[in-house]
C-alpha cells in the first residue's frame, strides 16, 4: 500500500511538472500558468518566400531546438509579395504546416505570424486564414497568434479596429491561447497602446520590435517601452535583430548587450530575426548553408554564432 501511494504521488508530481503550460498575458509580460514569467527565447524564421523558404522544414526545426536550444520559434508567413498568402495560399499552407506540426511534436512554442505590413488592407483574407488555422490548432497550448507583423506609420485606432475584427474569429475556435497584437511604427509605439489598450478580450499581449544597432532604436525607444511595461501592458518581443532595421548595417556588441540586459531585466520572451542565408547582418546563416539544418560553425554568420551562444547559455 505504501509503495502504491508513493508511486501515485511521484506520478502525480511528474505529470503536473511535465504538463505543457499555456501562455498567459499578465502585468507587463507573458507568463506560464504557474505565475512565473515565461521568458521564452528563440528564433524567427524568415519570410516564407525568397531565400528563407528553403529552411521551412522539420529538420531545421529540430536543429534550432537541439543545437540552438530555442524554446520558441516564429513562423513568418509572407502575405503580400509574390508567392505570399494573398496570391498563393496553398503554397503557403504546404510550407508552414510541416514547421508548425514539428514544433508541436517537439513541445516548443510556435508563433504564427501574419507577416504583413498592410494587414488593414487584407482584413477578410486574414480572418479567413486565422479561422482555418485556429480551427486546426486550437487543441495545442503551444500556439501563439501574431495577427499583424508590423503596422507601418498609421494610427493606433486603425490597428485596434483590425484587431477587434480578427480576434473574435480566432476566439470562436480557440478561447484560450495567447494572441499578440502589433502597434504603429513597426511595433515600436507600445507606449501609445498602453494608454488605450484593447478591452473586452481575454489573453492579449502586444508585440515590441527593435533592431539593436539601429540609430533610432536606442535609449529613447527603450525608455518608451519600459514605460509601457511598467504601466502593466503585456509585452512579447516577437522580433528583434542584432543589426539595423533594414536587416544589414552594423553589428554593435555594446548596443546588443544593452538591449539584451533590458530584456533580461524585465524577463521578456523574444524571437530573434532570422533564419536565412542572405548576405546581411541579421541573417543567422552564411550563404549556402544547408537547407537541412545540421549546421556547423562554418555555416553560421557572426549573428548566428552570437544568438546560438546566448540561447545555449540560458538553456543551462
By DSSP bridging, strand 41-45 and strand 270-275 are parallel
Tally the residues of the chain: 316
Dihedrals φ, ψ of 211, to 5°?
-125, 120
Indicate if 152 belongs to the active site: no
CA-wise closest residue to 255 among 240, 266, 235: 240
Dihedrals φ, ψ of 112, to 5°?
-90, 105
Dihedrals φ, ψ of 181, to 5°?
-110, 140
- 237, 208 contact by CB (below 8 A): yes
- 224/107 Cα distance (integer angstroms): 34
Dihedrals φ, ψ of 261, to 5°?
-60, -40
* Catalytic choice (80, 164, 219, 239): 239
**130: which residues sit within 8 A by CB, 6+ positions away?**
114, 145, 147, 166, 169, 170
Alpha helices (H) in 217-271, listed in sequence order? 219-230, 253-265
- 33/157 Cα distance (integer angstroms): 31
Name residue 207's beta-bridge partners.
236
Cell of 86: 494573398
- 256/242 Cα distance (integer angstroms): 6
- 43/255 Cα distance (integer angstroms): 19
- 130, 171 contact by CB (below 8 A): no
Residue linked to cell 531585466: 265
Q: Is the peptide bond before 274 cis (omega within 30 degrees of 0)?
A: yes
* Catalytic choice (146, 150, 214, 244): 150
Indicate if 150 belongs to the active site: yes
Residues forming the active site: 150, 239
Amino acid at each position: 500500500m505504501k509503495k502504491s501511494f508513493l508511486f501515485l504521488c511521484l506520478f502525480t508530481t511528474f505529470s503536473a511538472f511535465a504538463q505543457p503550460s499555456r501562455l498567459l498575458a499578465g502585468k507587463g509580460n507573458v507568463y506560464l500558468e504557474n505565475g512565473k514569467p515565461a521568458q521564452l527565447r528563440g528564433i524567427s524564421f524568415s519570410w516564407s518566400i525568397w531565400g528563407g523558404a528553403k529552411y521551412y522544414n522539420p529538420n531545421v526545426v529540430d536543429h534550432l531546438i537541439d543545437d540552438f536550444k530555442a524554446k520558441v520559434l516564429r513562423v513568418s508567413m509572407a502575405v503580400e509579395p509574390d508567392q505570399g498568402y494573398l496570391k498563393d495560399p496553398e503554397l503557403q499552407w504546404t510550407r508552414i504546416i510541416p514547421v508548425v506540426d514539428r514544433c508541436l511534436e517537439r513541445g516548443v512554442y510556435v508563433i504564427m505570424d501574419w507577416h504583413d505590413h498592410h494587414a488593414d488592407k487584407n482584413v477578410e483574407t486574414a480572418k479567413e486564414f486565422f479561422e482555418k488555422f485556429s480551427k486546426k490548432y486550437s487543441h495545442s497550448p503551444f500556439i501563439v497568434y501574431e495577427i499583424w507583423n508590423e503596422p507601418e506609420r498609421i494610427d493606433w485606432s486603425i490597428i485596434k479596429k483590425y484587431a477587434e475584427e480578427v480576434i473574435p474569429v480566432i476566439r470562436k475556435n480557440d478561447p484560450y491561447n495567447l494572441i499578440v497584437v502589433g502597434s504603429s511604427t513597426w511595433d515600436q509605439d507600445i507606449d501609445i497602446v498602453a494608454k488605450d489598450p484593447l478591452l473586452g478580450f481575454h489573453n492579449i499581449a502586444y508585440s515590441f520590435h527593435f533592431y539593436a544597432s539601429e540609430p533610432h532604436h536606442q535609449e529613447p525607444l527603450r525608455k518608451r517601452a519600459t514605460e509601457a511595461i511598467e504601466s502593466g501592458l503585456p509585452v512579447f518581443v516577437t522580433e528583434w535583430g542584432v543589426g539595423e532595421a533594414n536587416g544589414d548595417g552594423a553589428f554593435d556588441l555594446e548596443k546588443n548587450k544593452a538591449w539584451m540586459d533590458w530584456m533580461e531585466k524585465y524577463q521578456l520572451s523574444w524571437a530573434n530575426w532570422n533564419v536565412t542565408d542572405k548576405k546581411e547582418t541579421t541573417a543567422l546563416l552564411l550563404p549556402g548553408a544547408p537547407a537541412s539544418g545540421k549546421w556547423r560553425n562554418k555555416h553560421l554568420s557572426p549573428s548566428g554564432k552570437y544568438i546560438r551562444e546566448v540561447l545555449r547559455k540560458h538553456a543551462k
